[in-house]
Amino acid sequence: MAGEPQADCLFCKIVEGKIPATVVRETATTLAFRDINPQAPTHVLVIPKAHYPDAASLAAAEPLVAADVLTEAALVAADEGLSERGHRLVFNTGAGAGQVVFHAHAHVIGGRGLQWPPG
């Protein structure tokens, strides 16, 4: 069923506490934790607790939870002192865009200069 935990999903295991993570924020619908391989001084992943493979499928099925992910991403940025300094939200979608974990997640990246356009 859509949104149900997937046994083979790394981020579902983090939600279930089966794999440890450095959690920075949690709500009823979302979890935010530090990326294990940070690409910047701040690199936090914000995920829906429900399993959807990418941001598009999350938004189509549960738009209110998709909004929760954006709200939490903004609060992570604020907690990290990046509201005014600037930060980047990234939803890699599909293998061709570099997505490797197929549980929807926002990258909150900041704390250094960020190039545009991205690679």
Where on the chain is the footprint of ligand 5GP (CB under 6 A)? 10, 19, 21, 33-37, 92, 98-101
Residue 21's SS3 state is coil
C-alpha span between 25 and 46 (Å, rounded): 9
Nearer to Zn ion by Cβ, of 6 and 27: the residue is 6
Nearer to Zn ion by Cβ, of 6 and 92: the residue is 6
DSSP type of residue 102: -
Q: Which does 51 bind (CB under 5 to 8 A by kind): ligand 5GP, Zn ion, none?
A: Zn ion
C-alpha span between 66 and 40 (Å, rounded): 24
Contact status, residue 61 vs residue 85, Cβ threshold 8 Å: no
When asked if residue 87 is in the footprint of Zn ion (CB under 5 A), the reply is no
Nearest approach, Cβ of residue 88 and ligand 5GP (Å): 13
Nearer to ligand 5GP by Cβ, of 84 and 119: the residue is 119
When asked if residue 51 is in the footprint of Zn ion (CB under 5 A), the reply is yes
Residue 24's SS3 state is strand
C-alpha span between 48 and 105 (Å, rounded): 7
C-alpha span between 84 and 115 (Å, rounded): 17
User: Which of 9, 59, 70, 90: binder of Zn ion (CB under 5 A)?
Assistant: 9
Q: Which residue in the list 51, 103, 105, 107 is annotated as catalytic?
A: 105
Residues with active-site annotation: 105
